[in-house]
Structure 1
């Protein structure tokens, strides 16, 4: 994993670069396309070989068989019950597919992919030495990335979350989805020492992700997660592609049922200067109805969070229990309680029971 040791002013939390002194100023620079974020908590995986696209298409949730050089998308690996096991950004460069995974998932995802190769002409390798940086497209940061490698086309993954992808579906009913301007990108660079500031830390990047309602494996996924509950079908699931593991559950919940949980955005009262943590309980009155998954301080909205709630959680005001402190929370519905009821299923006419042996032709 790249260490970014040469960047001055970095304030670290373990290996993670949290900020460079002022997270809110960094966040504004990042949102404007000016700043770069060292991504020490992402890892690159290379999938090479002639069968790489058709093979990935057959074992993951996304349709990737027709990707061309430079195309970006996102995929999930589901278990047989449709629960999310792994997630990755996908970038095809014409020779390899590059998967961008959260650090905690990368080794397990690589091992799973290697077990699934069988006779396919595919190789899978973890590339922990790769240097990954995040930025928002269209600004000075992207120009600096391009200038750092003048003799080659840089590898840049464009996050598909900004719009509903082909074959996807959006449950959020927001007329102006907050992801519309979420032009998040991740570049692979040769050497961290070639990068020039200004820089922003993980706190800035995470706050902007939360504001865009964007789920992430490291925070929104647990052993019960299905794609529907966090609206992940909009970017990572193709509903009409061929068979893959977990597809039956994806189709059933989408067409007939409702996910048992739903993702919501919370605007938190910051007057007590108490920031909750992932895992803190969300309450409706005295009843616990869910838990915080991600939390951040936004430069415009203040203290914000994402939370996984029970489908039956009320839509109104909630509270978050952070240690001994109760924090008022205004709820923004992302996935509605009736999400998934997207198909009109014809009902069979119920036949009345008749006494045994009675000929229906003679019934009155």
Structure 2
């Protein structure tokens, strides 16, 4: 099994690997460092650092990299400024999500990262779509991702050491301090959407900063960040905070029928989305436009509170039932330091928050704050109604 350099370093002194061994070629990372709930709590007052070396990284070079990627994906990035990031999707012909990835353009290179199980497939798709464009997609297994979560990611000793100002906008990016270390590039940081607060809830969102760095310098940056006061945290803490913030992970919280509206991925970078509604043609656009203008998605992503006394917890992919009727599927299941056992789930839109549910036999309830009702009249629907009524 391939291990991240961080897990290898701390495996005998507190680091606990995830209970599920990752597929071949994907680095194992720490699940926690002995206190998973305390690691989550540390993010609310200071800053935690999480090793996310299990993500795959792809480099795009070439003069047409952004305009080319714009034509084959869902986000409007043809004119993405230097040192800016965005989230993006690749859809199939029916508008179902095949890939979800984050991209950052810096110094005429576009860096893409995606869950490790999707790295090879995404690279294959990008390579296949090059044709005559001036772009070259290349896998970069030598690059690794670290993530900071908490108010200390934007202010305090860690932020000061990384030279990240408190007013850095979401999706901004810049070089890490010091141009090089032993003649090797140090990587860059970017700000991502916040974690930790439910939409409509009262909790304060937690700032998130990603660092993309060479694997050879991963221990170097880890030490500098922890020496500056960051708490080491594992994937358990990160997943608990993203679940509470309704941030889905492809394949775990989605299935082969998921469309972007169901997962909350609609919107340009300004709306923290991955699907821009005002861009040109791309594969799957017809479904996106039809749902946006005329219909509603059949399911929606919600937060479930699970019965902690149940003998067994549900697993991703397990059915959610209302009585004897299946009404959804379970995604990430995790223990949160405040909410207890929670999960993301894709549930039929007609199911209300007061519906009694079970997930793999365990009692479950929908957090009402996770349901965002759309009360406005859709533009396409309004136009149809005007046509039906005729001229006045």
TM over 0.5: yes
Q: 1:31 to 1:112 in 2, by over 3 A?
A: farther
Q: Deviations over 1:51-106 (max 9, x none)?
A: 11111111111011121222111000011111101010111113111111000111
Residue of structure 2 equivalent to 1:327: 363
Alpha carbons of 1:257 and 1:340: their partners in 2 closer, same or farther (altered >3 Å)?
A: farther
Counterpart position of 2:270: none
Cα deviation digits, residues 15-51 of structure 1 (max 9, x gap) = 2321111101111223444221000321111111111
Deviation at 1:341, TM superposition (A): 5.7
Pair 1:114–1:339, CA change in 2 (3 A): farther
* Secondary structure of 1:64 counterpart: coil
Q: Which residue of 2 aligns with 1:192?
A: 218
Q: 1:6 aligns with which of 6, 9, 16?
A: 9
Confirm whether residue 204 of structure 1 aligns to residue 241 of structure 2.
Answer: no
The 1:115–1:328 alpha-carbon spacing in structure 2 relative to 1, beyond 3 Å, is: closer
C-alpha distance in structure 1 between counterparts of 2:201 and 2:364, whole Å: 25
SS state at 2:148 partner: strand
Distance 2:314 2:48 in 1: 27
Contact 2:50 2:148 in 1 (8 A): yes
* Greater length-normalized contact order (CA 8 Å, ≥ 6 residues apart): 1
Task: Note closer, same or farther for the CA distance 1:149–1:313 as it changes in structure 2 (3 Å cut).
Answer: closer
Per the alignment, residue 223 of structure 1 pairs with: 256
Alignment size in residue pairs: 338
- SS of 1:66 mapped into structure 2: coil
Q: TM-score, normalised by structure 2?
A: 0.78
C-alpha distance in 2, partners of 1:345/1:276?
44
- Asked if the contact 1:61–1:76 (Cα under 8 Å) also holds between the matched residues in 2, the reply is yes
Q: CA RMSD in A?
A: 2.7
Residue in 2 that maps onto 1:21:
34
Query: Cα distance 1:143–1:280, how it changes in 2: closer, same or farther (>3 A)?
Result: farther
Deviation, structure 1 residue 145? 5.0
Structure 1 contact 10–21 (Cα < 8 Å) conserved: yes
The Cα shift of 1:261 comes to: 1.5
Q: In the alignment, which residue of structure 2 is the partner of 1:303? A: 341
Do the aligned residues in 1 keep the contact of 2:60 with 2:136 (CA within 8 Å)? yes
Distance in 2 between the 1:297 and 1:238 partners?
A: 34
Which residue in 2 is equivalent to 1:30?
43
2:285 corresponds to 1:247 = yes
TM-score scaled by structure 1?
A: 0.84
Matches within 5 A, 1:286-297: 286-297=324-335
DSSP-derived class of the 1:120 partner? coil
* Alignment-derived partner of residue 151 in structure 1: 178
Distance in 1 (alpha carbons) for counterparts of 2:371 and 2:67: 32
Measured after TM superposition, the shift of residue 269 of structure 1 is: 2.7
Q: Partner of 1:9: helix, strand, or coil?
A: coil
Match of 1:269 among 307, 332, 336: 307
CA contact (8 A) 1:72 1:92 kept: yes
The match for 2:266 is 233
Matches for 1:141-180 after TM superposition, within 5 Å: 141-143=158-160, 145=162, 150-152=177-179, 154-160=187-193, 174-176=199-201
Partners of 2:263 and 2:355 in 1: CA distance? 20
Which stretch shows the higher mean deviation, 191-200 or 147-156?
147-156
Distance 2:158 2:251 in 1: 25
Conserved? CA contact 1:268–1:329, under 8 Å:
yes
**Corresponding residue for residue 138 of structure 1:** 154
Structure 1 residue 189, shift from structure 2 partner: 2.2
Q: Which runs of 5 or more residues in structure 1 are unaligned?
A: 163-171, 352-364
Change (3 A) 1:115 1:304: same
Asked which structure has the greater CA Rg, the reply is 1
- Tell which deviates more after alignment, 3-12 or 219-228: 3-12
Residue 224 to residue 294, structure 1, CA distance change in 2 (3 Å): same
Q: Which residue of 2 aligns with 1:285?
A: 323
Deviations along 1:308-346, one digit per CA (max 9) or x if unpaired, are: 112232331333333xx4223243364557689622223
